[in-house]
Structures are given as structure tokens and as C-alpha cells.
Amino acid sequence: MITLYSQYFNPNISRKYGRRISRERAKNYSDEKLEHILNTMNVKYEVREAHYSRIPYEDSKMFIIEGNIKKSTIIKIIGEKL
């Protein structure tokens, strides 16, 4: 099971606070686009409201993905598709 937070793709925060893809690719991010990308990848996932630990005062979405793929690999795939 893999947990992704929307902060991983948020262009308004720095890598220090959790962004995991380049700012250029992150400019195209939205929660709807991420859900669309996950649907095209045919993975089972669940979306929950959450707070990312590095920015606990900001609301976030948590995407829980079922699969045997590494987190870094799935983040890289999503970053390329944005």
C-alpha cells in the first residue's frame, strides 16, 4: 500500500516542505488530474482528507494506492504525465 499526499505535487511549496516533483511539472497539478492519471493507470485507490506532517496546518488529500510498486516510481510516473 502506498500513501501519496497532494503536497508532493503542490507547486506553491518547496521541496523542503514535501514537494517531490519539479516546480515546472507541478504547475499543471490538480487533485482531479491526479485522480484521472490514477484511473488511466488502472490502480485501485482511495482518497481521504488528511494533514501532511510537514505542513499540519494546511488541509490536504491523501491518496492510498494498492499495488506492489515503489512510491518513488509511481511519483515519477505521475510527474511525467502532468
pLDDT digits (tens, 9 = 90+) for 65-77: 998 889 999 999 9
pLDDT for the residue numbered 82 = 87
Predicted TM-score of the model (pTM): 0.87
Report the distance separating Cα 38 and Cα 34, nearest Å: 6
pLDDT at 65: 94
Integer angstrom CA distances of residue 49 from 24, 71, 77, 78: 26, 20, 23, 20
pLDDT digits (tens, 9 = 90+) for 5-52: 999 999 999 999 999 999 999 998 999 999 999 999 999 999 999 999
Q: Give the number of other Cβ atoms within 10 Å of residue 71's Cβ.
A: 13
The pLDDT assigned to 67 comes to 85
